[in-house]
A and B are shown apart, each in its own frame.
Chain A
Amino acid sequence: IAGITQAPTSQILAAGRRMTLRCTQDMRHNAMYWYRQDLGLGLRLIHYSNTAGTTGKGEVPDGYSVSRANTDDFPLTLASAVPSQTSVYFCASSDDLGDTQYFGPGTRLTVL
């Protein structure tokens, strides 16, 4: 079934460690996104990518970086994790900017 896969499903991480969350889509969508979802705050955009080779900052980019080497993959890296980055992270994609976004199953990250 076509869609978005994310890995890992969940992770517990010590503060200060580096972590990369993986996202792969097989829909050949141009645009991809990373969101975090926190209780009482809703989904917030971290970074986005219009197309392979380009990335941009969303609402809450501090402490995160992304890369888009090809159409299918959009990894999110926490260079030095902090407890405030404990959250559920969702990757999404859309055919183009402005189109409907389709979400992956999420990664639950706990930073201790």
Chain B
Amino acid sequence: DTGVSQDPRHKITKRGQNVTFRCDPISEHNRLYWYRQTLGQGPEFLTYFQNEAQLEKSRLLSDRFSAERPKGSFSTLEIQRTEQGDSAMYLCASSLNIGTGLFLGYTFGSGTRLTVV
């Protein structure tokens, strides 16, 4: 297991196009998180999954954004009708939640850098 993988590393797209990113978490991790990081800012929470269930979505996640984790393994984040304001680094992180209330920490991926032109 090589950690959390994200694909692609970079994506340049024209405004109005749809894009999809993929995240492959560490295989035994049941939680998967998406964060967005714009220039000069820290990462901001977008959404997270426990297995295949999407349990929380940030208000940052507009209707143009959709995330899935169909089999509780990899996840995809799709942005429809991209806008220049969507340009950012999209980070994925995974963790193992064992239900004891103990946070075991995240492992982050390298991110997908989206540029909307």
Pair from one complex: no
Binding site for B on A (CB under 8 A): none
Binding site for A on B (CB under 8 A): none
